[in-house]
Amino acid sequence: MSFAELGLAPEILRAIDEMGYSEATPIQAKAIPLVLSGRDLLAAAQTGTGKTAAFLLPILERLKKFANPSVSPAMHPVRALILSPTRELADQIGVNAKAYTKHLPLRSTTIFGGVNMDPQVAELRRGIEIVIATPGRLLDHVQQKTIQLNKVDVLVLDEADRMLDMGFIQDIRKIMSMLPKERQTLLFSATFAPEIKKLAADFMRDPQTVEVARQNSTNAQVEQLVYAVDGYRKRALLSHLIRERDMSQVIVFCRTKISADQLSRDLKRDGHAAEAIHGDKAQSARLETLTRFKAGEVKVLVATDVAARGLDISELPFVVNYEMPNSPEDYVHRIGRTGRAGASGVAISLMSPDETKQHEAIEKLTKQTLTPQTVQGYSGRREEANGEAAPRREREDRDRRELRESRDSRERREPREMREPRERDHSRSLLQTADKPRERDDGEGRKVMKKLGGRMLPQRQREVPALLLPPRYKVERS
């Protein structure tokens, strides 16, 4: 279905056309008419299928009647609020909003933590119709009284399941209490869980449900591979795969910030252009790293799950799960970074023996069978169990034997007059060590000195000169 058939304004269609889009994706074709009708919407779709446009385009159509070129802030109250779990996702939505409103006098801004509030305050005071925000920073602005939410017509919860996972439920409830009761609420997510449906029941009025794919399913355009490897061989295997598959651009996911930093340093030592991105990095550093990655200056982006949502990199060919995620839903979002907008991609997971439970949980959630494979020379104990490690052991034994023979040959060629002084020095050092006395306790409170191989001697008491002793007085009895 074309966007022209969805009833969007010419200004919006012109912006879409300039971005190179003509046909709506399934989620857009189903969601846009429902949003235009004013109904609350509960929508589920795979990551990378165009959810952002599915709610932004109809919101712009609804707000078009309020568009005006006035410079007065009073003429530009906040009418649409979009909540995002991460800074990266908020920034991505903000970029799309700027592009879609290119030919409409509607203002949008993005506010999130990790950066100075002053530029955000200046933007809000100018008047803004569309605000894209993370919950924590939005509440900071509410507390500072730099934003008013009493005229919000549309609320969007994007990646709502992730917001619940990150513990934003109380912040969401606070924000909901500040909004007008008469509003439209849209909830978009890649996965549905019972908690999401409960949230919808609490805050939405008779919502329409849209699902364009089976819940928690993965993109059919993404080839999924699992390699069984011992944990200590993961980094070597990853470096091998990057070179063997000529990965010009890849996101590598780790579970923790520490492991992401360590892996980034190791890959740099291996000669790869790698950088890490996670929650402890300053927002300016994170944005700079993403810009360099998109420009091709950084080829390996090592990230925690903070980057699993919101990274929109066109035609990203590879995603690697260096560490299997604890939550199987995160697997869906991680591999959703590739195979976007109909493109193909490859998702590789490195599974150590202690990660079989995570692997089984992923298979159960996605209803797929992901058979582990091995790469010869990188599977450690599994190779030994299958008899594949014998050639490797033979090579190692041969290397050790050649090293030993080389050392013996060098010693035979060395003149004796050069070896004898070294041997005498070595013997003297052993004797000096043996002759050195050591102090210890004999078990009765007396300190004794002992020589290695000698007898135990009591420690001599130092004599005090008689002149220093106190005088003795003789007392005569009468």
pLDDT score of 114:
81
Q: CB within 8 A of 141, min separation 6: which ones? A: 111, 117, 120, 121, 124, 133, 147
Q: Are 92 and 159 in contact (CB under 8 A)?
A: no
Which H or E run includes 64?
none
Indicate the CATH number for domain 3-211. Answer: 3.40.50.300
Give the tokens for residue 362: 């992923």
CA angle 110, 114, 120 (to 5 degrees): 35
pTM: 0.64
pLDDT at 339: 67
CA 273 – CA 250 distance, rounded (Å): 11
Q: Which of 121, 187, 126 is nearest to 154 (CA)?
A: 187
- Tell the residue number behind the tokens 């004898």, with chain if given: 420
| pLDDT number for residue 86 | 84
C-alpha separations of 23 from 4, 11, 16, 92, 313 in Å: 9, 17, 10, 21, 20
Q: What is the pLDDT, as a whole number, of residue 332? A: 81
Cα 202 to Cα 199: distance, rounded to the nearest angstrom: 5
Query: What is the rounded CA–CA span in Å between residue 332 and residue 325?
Result: 10
CA atoms within 13 A on the CB side of 42: 21
Supply 253's token pair.
């996911």
Quick one: pLDDT at residue 89? 85
Equal CATH topology for 3-211 and 222-375: yes
Give the per-residue pLDDT at 234: 92
State the pLDDT at residue 199. Answer: 79
Per-residue model confidence (pLDDT) at position 311: 65
Q: How many helices and strands (H and E) does the chain possess?
A: 17, 17
Is 152:178 a contact under the CB 8 Å cutoff?
A: no
CA distances from 298 to 246, 290, 308, 334 (A): 14, 9, 18, 19
Which of these, 56, 31, 53, lies nearest to 44 by C-alpha position? 31
Letter for the amino acid at 387?
Answer: G
What is the topology classification, in CATH, of domain 222-375? Rossmann fold (3.40.50)
Residues 310 and 174: their CA atoms lie apart, in Å, by 24
Domain spans of the chain, in order of start = 3-211, 222-375
pLDDT single digits (tens) 200-217: 888 888 888 888 765 556
pLDDT in tens, 454-471: 455 555 555 555 555 566
Mean pLDDT in consecutive groups of 10 residues from the start of the chain, 478 residues: 84 89 85 91 76 92 92 93 89 91 93 90 94 94 94 91 80 91 87 75 86 65 89 91 91 91 92 88 82 89 74 78 87 78 82 92 87 80 48 59 64 55 50 48 48 49 56 54
Place of tokens 């030994």: 384
